[in-house]
């Protein structure tokens, strides 16, 4: 990959210590960007950061954060602000799927909290930096699992009926709705918001589960894409001049695709945004 276009820029990649996130971090670092990778485990994170540095010769920092916790997301944003004075690319990549329903320290369903509320909160907390660094980009990793997801505003915490894959699909649909609404709100600022489907990728994703879900992931691994293939569209959206200024789009293999109908419903998008503000305490003054 040519070392052009990203010199002097700063990129923050959540879930950047393995899989798609790590492949994205390697590529952006190779293009000359200073990269901050976010992970939960210090040992694995330091190993990943050292490997990326060795491969690219770039500046790569590790930020530790549990994105299931809103305190963790806020600490990540505050720590980033202390160390950096600009943010050119934010890649919201971290995510999970769970066979059993659990709750975060904030009392929220874990998949929804990690896959949707964490990127929603982190992006909003860093929005002023993105605006000051414009032209800048927010790229969020969604999934075609969105087609199997439904937004039930009366049960966003999936208390009535929890099933792992449909809840995951709901959060991936929420990623697209968030991206479209964000793009609209950012019009004219020089900050773009896009999202993408990476394909079925052979990563550590899903290995936190037991039972049938784990067996399913193992069976399909030989047929899955390599992380580098899954990361290709993320890297392209984060860096390519081809998509400079393009916002409010959902991509698969570098081509725009149409998501589920509700993603194009302005009222539903606005309602999800307002619910997300309420659940994260954004906009609430003491």
Q: Which residues are catalytic?
A: 168
Nearest to 112 by CA among 147, 144, 152: 152
d(C-alpha 130, C-alpha 53), whole Å: 25
Q: Which residues pair with 63 in a beta bridge?
A: 38
Peptide bond into 19 cis (omega under 30): no
- Residue 46 makes CB contacts below 8 A (sequence gap 6+) with 62
């Amino acid at each position: 990959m040519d070392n052009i276009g990203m010199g002097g820029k700063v990129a923050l990649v959540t879930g950047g210590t393995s899989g798609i996130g790590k492949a994205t971090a390697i590529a952006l670092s190779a293009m000359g960007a200073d990269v901050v990778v976010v992970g939960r485990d210090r040992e694995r994170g330091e190993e990943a950061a050292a490997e990326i540095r060795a491969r690219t010769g770039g500046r790569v920092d590790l930020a530790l954060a549990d994105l299931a916790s809103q305190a963790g997301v806020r600490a990540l944003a505050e720590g980033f602000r202390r160390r950096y004075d600009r943010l050119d690319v934010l890649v919201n990549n971290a995510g999970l799927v769970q066979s059993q329903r659990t709750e975060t320290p904030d009392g929220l369903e874990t998949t929804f909290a990690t896959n949707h509320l964490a990127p929603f909160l982190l992006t909003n907390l860093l929005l002023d930096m993105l605006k000051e660094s414009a032209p800048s980009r927010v790229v969020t990793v969604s999934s075609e699992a969105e087609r199997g997801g439904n937004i039930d505003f009366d049960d966003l915490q999936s208390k009535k009926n929890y099933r792992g894959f449909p809840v995951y699909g709901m959060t991936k649909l929420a990623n697209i709705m968030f991206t479209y609404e964000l793009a609209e709100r950012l019009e004219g600022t020089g900050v773009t918001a896009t999202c993408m489907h990476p394909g079925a990728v052979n990563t550590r994703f899903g290995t936190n589960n037991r039972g049938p879900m784990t067996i399913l992931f193992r069976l399909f691994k030989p047929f899955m894409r390599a992380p580098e293939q899954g990361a290709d569209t993320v890297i392209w959206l984060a860096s390519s001049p081809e998509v400079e200024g393009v916002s409010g789009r959902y991509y698969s293999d570098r081509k725009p695709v149409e998501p589920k109908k509700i993603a194009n419903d302005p009222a539903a998008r606005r309602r999800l945004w307002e619910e997300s503000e309420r659940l994260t305490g954004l906009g609430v003054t003491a």
